[in-house]
Amino acid sequence: MNPLERFENPEIKGRIPHSMLGKIVERMKYVNKGVRRTEVAANLKYPPFYIEPFLPLAATKFELGKYGALYARTIPSLTTSGVKILVQISAPLVALGLPGTIHAVIAHEFLHYLDFVRRFSRMDSLAQEVPTSLFESSYADADHIFPSHMVFKDKALVRLLEKKFHAGFVDNRLNKKTEEQWIGKGLPTMTVALETNTTRIPISVLMKSTFDPMVTMKIEDLEKITIGRAQKG
Protein backbone atom coordinates (compact mmCIF):
# COMPACT_ATOMS: atom_id res chain seq x y z
CA MET A 1 0.00 0.00 0.00
CA ASN A 2 1.06 3.60 -0.58
CA PRO A 3 1.79 5.03 2.92
CA LEU A 4 0.90 8.55 1.73
CA GLU A 5 -2.33 7.61 -0.02
CA ARG A 6 -4.48 9.60 2.43
CA PHE A 7 -2.71 12.81 1.36
CA GLU A 8 -3.99 12.40 -2.21
CA ASN A 9 -7.46 13.44 -1.03
CA PRO A 10 -7.89 17.06 -2.25
CA GLU A 11 -9.79 18.07 0.89
CA ILE A 12 -7.03 16.81 3.18
CA LYS A 13 -4.30 18.24 0.96
CA GLY A 14 -6.00 21.62 1.15
CA ARG A 15 -5.80 21.66 4.96
CA ILE A 16 -2.04 21.13 5.14
CA PRO A 17 0.40 23.87 3.96
CA HIS A 18 2.67 22.95 1.07
CA SER A 19 5.73 23.50 3.26
CA MET A 20 4.50 20.98 5.85
CA LEU A 21 3.42 18.51 3.18
CA GLY A 22 6.83 18.77 1.56
CA LYS A 23 8.50 18.12 4.89
CA ILE A 24 6.39 14.99 5.44
CA VAL A 25 7.27 13.64 1.99
CA GLU A 26 10.97 14.45 2.40
CA ARG A 27 11.19 12.85 5.86
CA MET A 28 9.51 9.61 4.79
CA LYS A 29 13.08 8.36 4.39
CA TYR A 30 13.30 8.13 8.19
CA VAL A 31 10.08 6.12 8.32
CA ASN A 32 11.30 3.71 5.67
CA LYS A 33 14.66 3.34 7.42
CA GLY A 34 12.86 2.71 10.72
CA VAL A 35 10.68 0.02 9.18
CA ARG A 36 13.69 -1.65 7.58
CA ARG A 37 15.67 -1.42 10.83
CA THR A 38 12.82 -3.07 12.72
CA GLU A 39 12.54 -5.84 10.14
CA VAL A 40 16.25 -6.60 10.32
CA ALA A 41 16.28 -6.47 14.13
CA ALA A 42 13.32 -8.87 14.40
CA ASN A 43 14.07 -10.88 11.27
CA LEU A 44 10.39 -10.47 10.37
CA LYS A 45 8.37 -8.46 7.89
CA TYR A 46 6.73 -5.26 9.11
CA PRO A 47 2.91 -5.05 8.76
CA PRO A 48 1.27 -2.63 6.28
CA PHE A 49 1.51 0.97 7.50
CA TYR A 50 0.25 4.38 6.45
CA ILE A 51 0.65 8.04 7.43
CA GLU A 52 -2.42 9.62 9.05
CA PRO A 53 -2.91 13.34 8.16
CA PHE A 54 -5.10 13.89 11.23
CA LEU A 55 -3.26 13.91 14.57
CA PRO A 56 -5.23 11.64 16.96
CA LEU A 57 -5.62 13.23 20.39
CA ALA A 58 -6.54 10.89 23.24
CA ALA A 59 -9.03 12.30 25.72
CA THR A 60 -10.88 10.95 28.74
CA LYS A 61 -14.10 12.18 30.31
CA PHE A 62 -12.48 11.83 33.74
CA GLU A 63 -9.82 14.45 32.95
CA LEU A 64 -11.56 17.34 31.25
CA GLY A 65 -9.26 19.43 29.08
CA LYS A 66 -6.42 16.91 29.08
CA TYR A 67 -5.26 15.48 25.78
CA GLY A 68 -2.39 13.27 24.72
CA ALA A 69 -1.06 12.99 21.19
CA LEU A 70 -1.21 9.47 19.76
CA TYR A 71 1.78 9.57 17.45
CA ALA A 72 1.15 6.02 16.22
CA ARG A 73 -1.39 3.22 16.70
CA THR A 74 -1.68 -0.40 15.68
CA ILE A 75 -5.21 -0.92 14.38
CA PRO A 76 -7.06 -4.14 13.46
CA SER A 77 -9.23 -3.64 10.38
CA LEU A 78 -12.11 -5.89 9.32
CA THR A 79 -12.05 -7.06 5.70
CA THR A 80 -13.99 -9.64 3.69
CA SER A 81 -11.07 -12.05 4.03
CA GLY A 82 -10.59 -11.58 7.76
CA VAL A 83 -8.84 -9.16 10.08
CA LYS A 84 -5.96 -7.07 8.75
CA ILE A 85 -3.54 -5.38 11.12
CA LEU A 86 -2.32 -1.91 10.12
CA VAL A 87 0.11 0.51 11.73
CA GLN A 88 -1.06 4.12 11.67
CA ILE A 89 1.74 6.70 11.94
CA SER A 90 0.74 10.33 12.53
CA ALA A 91 1.96 13.05 10.19
CA PRO A 92 3.40 15.23 13.01
CA LEU A 93 5.69 12.38 14.08
CA VAL A 94 7.05 12.15 10.53
CA ALA A 95 7.37 15.92 10.05
CA LEU A 96 8.65 16.93 13.50
CA GLY A 97 10.18 13.89 15.21
CA LEU A 98 13.90 13.18 15.40
CA PRO A 99 14.99 10.12 13.37
CA GLY A 100 15.65 8.14 16.54
CA THR A 101 12.20 8.94 17.88
CA ILE A 102 10.59 7.84 14.62
CA HIS A 103 12.53 4.57 14.73
CA ALA A 104 11.55 3.94 18.36
CA VAL A 105 7.85 4.52 17.71
CA ILE A 106 7.87 2.30 14.63
CA ALA A 107 9.60 -0.51 16.55
CA HIS A 108 7.21 -0.11 19.50
CA GLU A 109 4.18 -0.48 17.24
CA PHE A 110 5.72 -3.68 15.89
CA LEU A 111 5.54 -5.08 19.43
CA HIS A 112 1.82 -4.27 19.48
CA TYR A 113 1.47 -5.96 16.11
CA LEU A 114 2.99 -9.14 17.56
CA ASP A 115 0.57 -8.98 20.47
CA PHE A 116 -2.44 -8.63 18.17
CA VAL A 117 -1.30 -11.59 16.07
CA ARG A 118 -0.78 -13.63 19.25
CA ARG A 119 -4.27 -12.90 20.57
CA PHE A 120 -6.03 -13.19 17.21
CA SER A 121 -4.33 -16.50 16.44
CA ARG A 122 -5.51 -17.90 19.77
CA MET A 123 -8.89 -16.17 19.45
CA ASP A 124 -8.43 -14.63 22.88
CA SER A 125 -11.05 -12.25 24.18
CA LEU A 126 -9.99 -8.75 23.21
CA ALA A 127 -12.11 -6.84 25.71
CA GLN A 128 -9.65 -4.73 27.69
CA GLU A 129 -10.07 -2.70 30.85
CA VAL A 130 -10.48 0.91 29.74
CA PRO A 131 -7.92 3.31 31.28
CA THR A 132 -9.58 6.12 33.23
CA SER A 133 -6.71 8.57 32.82
CA LEU A 134 -4.01 9.42 30.32
CA PHE A 135 -1.41 8.62 33.00
CA GLU A 136 -2.86 5.15 33.52
CA SER A 137 -3.12 4.49 29.79
CA SER A 138 0.59 5.21 29.31
CA TYR A 139 1.35 2.18 31.49
CA ALA A 140 -1.48 0.00 30.17
CA ASP A 141 -0.01 0.47 26.69
CA ALA A 142 2.87 -1.89 27.52
CA ASP A 143 0.99 -4.44 29.64
CA HIS A 144 0.63 -7.14 27.00
CA ILE A 145 3.58 -6.73 24.65
CA PHE A 146 6.74 -8.83 24.57
CA PRO A 147 9.84 -7.11 26.03
CA SER A 148 11.84 -5.45 23.29
CA HIS A 149 15.05 -7.28 24.19
CA MET A 150 13.35 -10.61 23.43
CA VAL A 151 12.19 -9.49 19.99
CA PHE A 152 15.00 -7.33 18.62
CA LYS A 153 18.66 -8.26 18.19
CA ASP A 154 19.62 -4.60 17.60
CA LYS A 155 20.90 -3.57 21.06
CA ALA A 156 20.97 0.12 20.17
CA LEU A 157 17.30 -0.08 19.14
CA VAL A 158 16.42 -1.84 22.40
CA ARG A 159 18.16 0.89 24.40
CA LEU A 160 16.30 3.53 22.40
CA LEU A 161 12.97 1.84 23.13
CA GLU A 162 13.75 1.56 26.83
CA LYS A 163 14.61 5.25 26.94
CA LYS A 164 11.59 6.48 25.00
CA PHE A 165 9.03 4.13 26.55
CA HIS A 166 10.33 3.87 30.12
CA ALA A 167 7.05 5.24 31.53
CA GLY A 168 4.84 5.60 28.51
CA PHE A 169 6.07 7.52 25.48
CA VAL A 170 8.24 10.47 26.55
CA ASP A 171 9.47 13.11 24.11
CA ASN A 172 9.05 16.67 25.39
CA ARG A 173 10.74 18.11 22.31
CA LEU A 174 8.28 16.45 19.96
CA ASN A 175 5.31 17.39 22.16
CA LYS A 176 6.36 21.04 22.15
CA LYS A 177 6.89 21.15 18.39
CA THR A 178 3.57 19.40 17.79
CA GLU A 179 1.77 21.87 20.02
CA GLU A 180 3.36 24.87 18.30
CA GLN A 181 3.67 23.77 14.67
CA TRP A 182 0.67 21.44 14.26
CA ILE A 183 -2.07 22.00 16.84
CA GLY A 184 -1.28 25.70 17.32
CA LYS A 185 -1.50 26.34 13.57
CA GLY A 186 -4.85 24.63 13.22
CA LEU A 187 -3.62 21.62 11.25
CA PRO A 188 -5.95 18.56 11.23
CA THR A 189 -6.61 16.75 14.51
CA MET A 190 -9.20 14.25 15.70
CA THR A 191 -10.23 13.31 19.22
CA VAL A 192 -10.12 9.67 20.31
CA ALA A 193 -12.01 8.89 23.54
CA LEU A 194 -10.11 6.36 25.61
CA GLU A 195 -13.41 5.15 27.08
CA THR A 196 -14.44 3.86 23.64
CA ASN A 197 -11.00 2.85 22.39
CA THR A 198 -11.64 -0.91 22.64
CA THR A 199 -11.31 -3.65 20.05
CA ARG A 200 -13.83 -6.45 19.57
CA ILE A 201 -13.39 -8.77 16.61
CA PRO A 202 -16.14 -11.34 15.82
CA ILE A 203 -15.00 -14.96 16.10
CA SER A 204 -16.34 -15.57 12.58
CA VAL A 205 -13.87 -12.99 11.25
CA LEU A 206 -10.95 -14.41 13.25
CA MET A 207 -11.65 -17.92 11.96
CA LYS A 208 -11.00 -16.89 8.35
CA SER A 209 -8.03 -14.65 9.14
CA THR A 210 -4.51 -15.64 8.19
CA PHE A 211 -1.25 -14.21 9.50
CA ASP A 212 2.39 -14.31 8.47
CA PRO A 213 3.54 -17.84 9.45
CA MET A 214 7.01 -16.53 10.31
CA VAL A 215 5.40 -14.15 12.81
CA THR A 216 3.30 -16.88 14.44
CA MET A 217 6.38 -19.12 14.70
CA LYS A 218 8.32 -16.28 16.33
CA ILE A 219 5.50 -15.73 18.83
CA GLU A 220 5.45 -19.43 19.73
CA ASP A 221 9.20 -19.32 20.37
CA LEU A 222 8.87 -16.19 22.51
CA GLU A 223 6.09 -17.74 24.58
CA LYS A 224 8.15 -20.89 25.18
CA ILE A 225 11.05 -18.75 26.40
CA THR A 226 8.71 -16.75 28.65
CA ILE A 227 7.15 -19.89 30.15
CA GLY A 228 10.58 -21.48 30.64
CA ARG A 229 11.89 -18.45 32.51
CA ALA A 230 8.77 -18.31 34.68
CA GLN A 231 9.15 -21.97 35.64
CA LYS A 232 12.82 -21.49 36.52
CA GLY A 233 11.99 -18.37 38.52
Q: Is 78 helix (H, G, I), strand (E, B) or coil?
A: strand
pLDDT band, residue 78 (cuts 50/70/90) = confident
Identify which has the larger pLDDT, 87 or 64: 87
pLDDT tens sequence across 119-146: 888 876 454 444 443 333 443 455 568 9
Q: Span 210-228, mean pLDDT?
A: 91
Tally the domains of the chain: 1
The percentage of residues in the chain with a pLDDT greater than 90, rounded to a whole number, is: 58
Domain carrying residue 136: 5-232
Q: How many CB atoms lie within 10 A of CB 196?
A: 7
Q: 145-180 burial string, b = 16+ CB within 10 Å, else e?
A: bbebeebbebeebbebbeebbeebbebeebbebbee
pLDDT, tens digit, for every residue of 154-192? 999 999 999 998 877 878 999 999 999 999 999 999 988
Give the C-alpha separation, 97 to 8, whole Å.
23
